[in-house]
Structure 1
Amino acid sequence: MTLAPGLRAQLLIVVEQGDTAVKVGSGDVPVLATPRVLALAERATVQAVAGALGPGQTSVGTKVALEHLAASPVGTHVEITAELVEVDGRRLVFAFTARDRHTTVATGTIERVVVERERFLSKLAR
């Protein structure tokens, strides 16, 4: 498989107490926290390209734009979909959407860069 626009992944979650703004410290209301939306969207981007990366490759996040549009209380089913929409060399651009049964919860874009895992990690040891 090669990296090309159209690669997609979907996640389905049920909002739990651990996903709330209260729990993650991003607010004081018991609804799906924006940082959790982002983490789930990033997980979907990683899954979307997992089978298309070469041996020893991974991707790392570099840029995010997120618009959190609607609150999702505990117990809400939320589906997060990420699609690779642009490949520019090692740069990957994804569009994502989070939806519950009634509305769009969040939308945005995530940019990632393909790196050689070992080379990337070796730079951290310096």
Structure 2
Amino acid sequence: MTFQPSTYAVTHVVTDDDTAAAVASGDLAVLATPRLLAWLEEASCGAVGLDAANTSVSARVELEHLAPSPVGAEVTATATVVHRDGRLIRFQVVAHDARGTVLAKGEAQRIVVDRERFLSQVPEPGVGD
């Protein structure tokens, strides 16, 4: 398993599809926490740096969503590897808007898994129901 500890960032512009009202996590036209979390997960995936035989799965996320973001806001989600222990990778995650306002911060954990072995454990839909 090859690790490339790093910081990785993604930038998105909040659209109507990213709002709390659109994803049913509230009724306001501001960035939804689930969408913000997805962007932070995207950044953590980018920071992992694994070979093709391995991937990582989300294990735990602790997130404080501190400030609202309107439609049209530019949001940068950043994940930094802060700890590695075998298959466990822990990240510091933070999101900022274009003005530098901290929108969210927290910690995420991912577990490195063998891609084929993991997929072999996924049940077929309808089997065993």
TM-score of the two chains, using structure 1 as the length reference: 0.92
Q: Tell me the distance in 1 between the aligned counterparts of 2:75 and 2:18.
A: 12
**Equivalent position SS for 1:30:** coil
- RMSD (Å), alpha carbons: 1.5
Distance of aligned partners of 1:2 and 1:25 in 2 relative to their CA distance in 1, 3 Å threshold: same
**Equivalent position SS for 2:121:** helix
Choose which of 100, 121, 124 in structure 1 pairs with 2:122: 124
Choose which of 104, 109, 116 in structure 2 pairs with 1:111: 109
Is the Cα contact below 8 Å between 2:20 and 2:27 reproduced in 1? yes
Q: Quick one: which amino acid aligns to residue 3 of structure 1?
A: F
Q: Tell me the distance in 2 between the aligned counterparts of 1:93 and 1:25.
A: 29
Q: Which runs of 5+ in 2 are unaligned?
A: 125-129
| Percent of aligned pairs sharing the same letter | 50
Range with bigger deviation, 95-104 or 59-68: 95-104
Matches within 5 A, 1:26-105: 26-49=25-48, 52-100=49-97, 101-105=99-103
Q: Count residues in correspondence.
A: 123
Q: Tell me the distance in 2 between the aligned counterparts of 1:102 and 1:116.
A: 38
Structure 1 residue 62: deviation in Å? Answer: 0.6
Larger radius of gyration: 2
Q: Quick one: which amino acid aligns to residue 57 of structure 1?
A: N
Structure 1 residue 4: deviation in Å? Answer: 5.5
Q: Quick one: which amino acid aligns to residue 95 of structure 1?
A: Q
- 1:15-40 Cα offsets, whole Å, 9 max, x none, are 10000000000000000000001000
